[in-house]
Amino acid sequence: MGTVVDAVKQEANGTLPNGKKVQVVFVLGGPGSGKGTQCANIVEHFGFSHLSAGDLLRAEIKSGSENGEMIQNMIKEGKIVPSEVTIKLLQQAMMDIDNEKFLIDGFPRNEENRAAFEKVTGIIPEFVLFFDCSEEEMERRIMNRNQGREDDNIDTIRKRFKVFVESSVPVVEYYESRGKVRKIDAGKPVEEVFEAVKTVFSSIHAKVA
């Protein structure tokens, strides 16, 4: 049976149901903070696998499975997909991919997600990579990249910012209080942002080595 000591031993590492040990980094940042670009760089330079909770949900819907139908119906009705559903998809993806190092992008979206993830998986993230960017800069970027995307109008963008501040910032604050947040100034040019990211990831490589 797991004890408090075992739980402490799990710090920063977790074991999946198939016995595989994994290292998880949560990647958080507002819409337009550049998370996707930097995740691609981290995958290329540091050998992590990139998991997006949103992509996994969309793939499950496309698969036509019973689970996918349930997810689609919930989204249609404007309901939030239960944390456990998203977590099980993340867990399954980590078991299916031949890698031990994972970037989980855009999750946990809120405190309930965070608590459920730790409870269901027993995994404590190595750290949280937080792309800190001003709303003005994120708004400018989103409007510049607007290629007819419906969700890229100014009102919708501002709503997304509001949701991010209300839901995701408390998650960042929770991990910050535990010394697990690595904050990146994401308002700088892409190359400079990646230099800061490299410093963070090089330090965990040194620790592992």
Which residue positions form the known binding site? 32-37, 58, 79-81, 106-109, 113, 145, 149, 160, 188
Can you say which residues are annotated as belonging to the binding site for a ribonucleoside 5'-phosphate?
58, 79-81, 106-109, 149, 160
Binding-site residue ranges for CMP: 113
d(CA 170, CA 52): 20
Phi/psi of residue 208, nearest 5 degrees = -65, -40
Phi, psi of 113 (to 5 degrees): -55, -50
Report the alpha-carbon distance of residue 190 to residue 73 in Å, rounded.
38
Q: Residues with Cβ < 8 Å from 8, sequence gap 6 or more? A: none
- Give the contacts of 82 (CB within 8 A, at least 6 positions apart): none
> Strands, DSSP E only, in the chain?
14-15, 21-29, 49-52, 101-105, 127-132, 181-185
Dihedral sign of CA atoms 152, 103, 26, 193 in order: negative
Torsion of CA 51, 57, 63, 66, to 10 degrees: 130
> Residues at the annotated binding site for ATP?
32-37, 145, 188
